Amino acid sequence: MPTLRELAQLLMSTLTVLGLATHAAKTPNVVFIFADDLGYGDLGCYGHPQAKTPHIDRLAKEGVLFTQHYANGPECSPTRTALLTGRYQQRAGGLECAIGTGNVGRYDEAIELAKKRQLGLPAKQSVLPSALKKAGYVTGVFGKWHLGYEPQFNPVEHGWDEFFGYMGGNVHYFNHRELSDLHVLFEGRLPVYRKGYMTHLITDSSIEFIERHKEKPFFLFVSHESPHFPFQGPGDEKKVVDETNWMEADAKTYVAMLEDLDSEVGRILKTLQQKNLQKETIVIFVSDNGGFAKAAHMGPLKGAKSSTLEGGIRVPLIIRWPGRIEAGKKSDQVCATFDLTRSILNLAEAKVPAKNLDGIDVIDHLVKKNPDFKRTLYWRGKRGIRTWWAVRDGDLKYVRKTEGDTEEWLYDLSKDIGETNDLSKANPTQVARLKKLLTNWEKEVQPIR
């Protein structure tokens, strides 16, 4: 007959198992799909006049489409830094501009870090993969990394369980090389070679990850290259693409890339359905910044990638969570990339001090059907001698650009989404107020390294 001590140990073991089962049951899988340089109007559900994107459109019908979501940065590396840290990328240091091909710094602070072989996101600042791992999730990132070429910046060092992709900002879609002499395609810590179209390879790895880990909570980061240049559709293997035409826009090819990206998203959604994972998986589809000026469709917005005008930072966001988020809705809630970080961590019940995060839980906002509320958000992007700033406070937005001379504008986005009516001269008091907000923010987000 068991002793009281043995019965107590058995009871504790049973409660532990039940607790783990309950935790696993209520923490959803997360599939986070990043499109690269996708313009605000580049999807059918956001009004593209030509591209057919039925799978992503269906995702929007089954979830929530956001009308006022912002990338934290106007370029790739800054926004990815905000996603992984949950904070303004300015706090990281050296990552206010996309890291240049071949590990090149593009403004003073980044140039100095590159000289020291420190240009990238330090693993100790990254919270998303490590916190999820501690919460019982298996994590994988497949595709574009763009947070540092040096070995210490490899995704595995950040806590990702699995990684396949390229270290820089863009590669030839078929030979997977960039315009430098560096080998950038890796699996884990090891350089690898693959055959195939990059968009398809990213999807293949993502589906294999789902199939391997369908029995446990997982966080899948699908980090697509498409529709970033070089502009190569899935049928363009024989097309000559080199340094002479790497960034040359091609409208027909761009649409082909958008439609292929949609098909690949469809493959992932189909896999979730086939594995009976739809109801227990939240899917987030979003872009890392605005579209490339010569190729993308920004809808009614002014500006493009690299600027803090709306076309450079306002991007598509769709979230689907069957049974928890009401389907077929649009949300006008103002939000940004780092809000998704806090949302995901909260979903996973991951332990991260709230003071270490700058964003809000926008998914909880949807689930509880809370009324939309005003936000104050900030941007600063640097490249060479050029700096773009912006602050949005409620519906008012102040924008400044310095490149030798300084220009500034004030817009009321509730009446002027296209930023066509500059109110700065007629409202000097508001300009001064917003400039002060921006100055105070810059003091608060000093780099921690």
Sequence-distant (6+) residues with CB within 8 A of 204 are: 196
Q: Do 75 and 291 contact (CB within 8 A), yes or no?
A: no
Query: What number is the average pLDDT over the span 87-104?
Result: 98
- Over the range 185-217, which residues count as b (16 or more CB within 10 Å of their CB) and which as e? bbbeeeeeeeeebbbebbbbbbbebbeebbeeb
pLDDT for 13 beyond 50: no
Q: How far is 124 from 278, CA to CA, in rounded Å?
A: 33
Q: How far is 380 from 400, CA to CA, in rounded Å?
A: 9
Q: What is the pLDDT of residue 16?
A: 40
User: How many residues are listed for the chain in this entry?
Assistant: 449
pLDDT for 19 beyond 60: no
Identify the architecture of domain 379-444 in CATH.
2-Layer Sandwich (3.30)
Residue 388's DSSP bridge partners are 381, 401
Q: How far, in Å, are 65, 161, 272, 277 from residue 213 at the CA level?
A: 28, 11, 12, 11
* 33: number of Cβ within 10 Å: 26
Q: Are strands 185-187 and 162-166 parallel, antiparallel or unpaired?
A: antiparallel
Digit-coded pLDDT (tens) for 142-198: 999 999 999 999 999 999 999 999 999 999 999 999 999 999 999 999 999 999 999
Digit-coded pLDDT (tens) for 236-260: 999 999 999 999 999 999 999 999 9
Q: Over pLDDT 90: what percentage of the chain?
A: 92
Mean pLDDT of the chain: 94
Q: Do 333 and 64 contact (CB within 8 A), yes or no?
A: no
pLDDT for 375 beyond 60: yes
Q: What is the pLDDT of residue 3?
A: 53
Q: What is the pLDDT of residue 223?
A: 98
Query: What number is the average pLDDT over the span 94-106?
Result: 98
Please list the active-site residues: 76, 146
Q: Do 129 and 219 contact (CB within 8 A), yes or no?
A: yes
- Stretch(es) of the chain classified as CATH 3.30.1120.10: 379-444
- Stretch(es) of the chain classified as CATH 3.40.720.10: 27-374
CATH superfamily membership of 27-374: Alkaline Phosphatase, subunit A (3.40.720.10)
Which DSSP string corresponds to 190-216?
EE----S-HHHHHHHHHHHHHHHSTTS
**How much is the pTM?**
0.94
